Structure 1
């Protein structure tokens, strides 16, 4: 839409992904008449970022990656201002400035702009054939490019990197993953689980090179298109496509010249409020409460973004709601192998942590216990009781007598303490599961 002079909204949301959807639905559940505006750099309505690799390789149609029906915003009476970027916030004047130079005023502001992909200063990173994998448009461009290419390098072996590599293998590409750490999914899994995932990838004709980094993206002189990458071992890897997937950086530059406090992300309390009145934050941009550590940290995962956005929307519209479910939980599938981790998953024995593991082929289970409480899990292959286990972690239930069942995956609700069962059945307390 074209902005009119003195454009103003009762509720203004910067960003249009999961957190925005949660906030819109929460606000409209209480306030049907107030004006809501959404400003976002992308032109699409809210979609699932984890599905863009599936779209790229043809597993999922583009029409099936959107969170809500096409008429969601119209039905919720939301004004969408898409294709423009929020550049700065004035908390004193209660307005934002967008990339057109225009300003938009607000009564309540939710910052849900997510993060930008980290672009390391590698020579040649701007060449045709070098992609990031952060947006639907990234996936569209890569899909078109890959239709006449055959060799790809993926820089980074985190969740996004490995899902990108999996999609490329399924598209018939020759794929090499280059990772600086000593294993894949180094921040998500321990060494045993990481090795299982790596072997599954290798079994499907993928290659992985760890403890190495890309030094340059090299191109043809005549076209500038990608030709090889040079890595820290001194080797050159032939490729015509590369993906840089080493992480995202929260867009905290939005509030750089404001009183809004930041750490690695925008700091919020359990109500998703910043330290500045009428300003909230949620999603990948926010540093929110994690009950396991008793403090704030970045938890850039989809369910937490929706919950955080919903809690923000409820508080913006007058409800007293708290965000208590924030916890790092990752669940993914690699070539048919389910992998799940939560909490202090990569923690080793010591410093008060007790670690128990069970390995049977590609089935691996690990539980991390501290002070009788379950504080970390890794499940590979056999993911039985995963939902119950994360619920136990959030609730802080004593698992001293449940260790064997947790390891075997035979835990049921009936095994929990009687007061927990009654609370769950009768709904008399926490909604932890």
Structure 2
């Protein structure tokens, strides 16, 4: 990898003969779909997935658990699609070793596959805290179809469940189990739900909504251990302060850990994840990494938006559409917005969560209707937003923030959303002589 992280030497010249992608998750599947539409794509593509079924939409696992969707609704492409596009699909096998000198993979079945270029899209696994009792029957993660199916079976007879983690995934799992008929408690170590995305007011509104549905929210809680019923099955979660939460089912949803064992065994540079440059190339120029298993400039990934941008960069690279010297062809970090996938809860947030020195704080709160908006501006530019209830203006706020637009002209209407704010901005622009129209950045230059 080049010292500046901007480019890597070419592993081969000319079109790629055989591309192998390890990982048939959402990232690997999107890469394949992007490649088959391009001229100059690799002549052969082999896609290897450890799960026995073709790629599916993991984002929809929450509504699947809640009974709002059917299993077939999650499938991205059926087996016929791969045949039609000349993609060899290998399912139910895990890649065990990579011989980088011979450029050859070996799977759990003993299958050997040669490659000219390799993409690791091995995703992630649930992060597990060092808590005694995690090995007990009745303790689950919530990461794949098998997890969703197991939780659905557990919920058939009702009973009590404890979800460890009050972030996005934990709340979605808890609501899904509640809708399946279980009594659910959520343990959150921080003092509020979704502490990485929400301020105190929005988190309080969310907690009230979920508590009103019957979920028990326990914040500021430290899990000590899970209790065994004497027959190897979980029966309760014990907190550090002595509280005991009965549970026949426990879901661990505290985050994810990149799957890097294969890359590490192969001798690639690995930190928290597989280290890549701005062209998604690892320390071996013939091997790329993509999605949740990769790390760029110290960042790892768990949201689809940056991963989709990675896909476009890598697809263009693999199809020979750029030589890597074009800045537009490189991956760059951009802010992402957060939305919660719980039916009946509208939430949208991005950027800074807590106000800092120099921030102007604009707030609107209508407790009666459950609407809340808080905007953080610096020198007229939007740096963070939290919206709860009416989130229609969220994407427009996010667009203005990404553009770095000076919103001073519409400050008084900014909290009322796009229509009122945009009208003031357009009016200001129309009254400003063209030769005087310059942004603060342009004036500084």
Indicate whether the TM-score tops 0.5. yes
**Structure 1 spans left out of the alignment, 5+ residues:** 1-7, 289-294, 420-433
Counterpart of 2:25 in structure 1 is 17
Are residue 28 (structure 1) and residue 43 (structure 2) matched?
A: no
Q: Provide Cα deviations, 1:237-268, integer angstroms capped at 9, x if missing partner.
A: 11111100011011123322556444433333
1:94, 1:368 → 2: CA distance? 51
1:249 is the counterpart of 2:257: yes
Find the counterpart in structure 1 of residue 80 from structure 2.
71
1:73-114 per-position Cα deviation (integer Å, ceiling 9, x unaligned): 222221122222234444444333433454432212222111
Q: CA deviation at 1:21?
A: 2.1
Give the alignment of 1:285-364 within 5 angstroms.
285-288=293-296, 297-320=299-322, 321-324=329-332, 326-344=334-352, 346-350=353-357, 352-361=358-367, 362-364=370-372
Q: Is the 8 A contact 1:213 1:232 kept in 2?
A: yes
Which residue matches 1:3?
Answer: none
Q: Which structure carries more strand by proportion?
A: 1
- Partners of 1:278 and 1:316 within 8 A in 2: no
Aligned to 2:155: 146
Contact 1:22 1:308 in 2 (8 A): no
Are residue 192 (structure 1) and residue 201 (structure 2) matched? yes
TM-score normalised per structure 2: 0.83
For residues 16-63 of structure 1, give each alpha carbon's deviation from its aligned partner in whole angstroms, at most 9, with x where no partner exists: 122112211221122467111112221221112121121122110001
Partners of 1:194 and 1:324 in 2: how far apart? 31
1:105-138 C-alpha deviation (Å, 9 max, x unpaired):
2212222111111122322212221110000111
Match of 2:389 among 368, 371, 381: 381
Match of residue 414, structure 2, among 383, 402, 406: 406
Gaps of 5+ in 2: 1-15, 323-328, 431-445
- Cα distance change, pair 32–309 in 1 and its aligned pair in 2 (3 A): closer
2:291 alignment partner, one of 283, 287, 291 = 283
Partner Cα distance (1:43, 1:379) in 2: 40
1:22/1:307 contact within 8 Å kept: no
Deviation at 1:324, TM superposition (A): 4.5
Asked if 2 retains the 8 angstrom alpha-carbon contact of 1:26 and 1:311, the reply is no
Alignment partner of 1:297: what SS? coil
Q: Structure 1 residues 35-44 or 65-74, which shifts more?
A: 65-74
Report deviation, 1:368: 2.5
1:204 Cα deviation after fit: 0.5
Please state if 1:98 is matched with 2:107.
yes
Secondary structure of the 2:405 match is coil
Distance in 2 separating the partners of 1:348 and 1:190: 10
Q: Which moved more, 1:316-325 or 1:120-129?
A: 316-325
Aligned alpha-carbon RMSD (Å): 2.5
Bigger CA radius of gyration: 2
Q: How many residues align?
A: 403
SS at match of 1:67: coil
The answer to whether structure 1 residue 43 and structure 2 residue 43 are counterparts is no
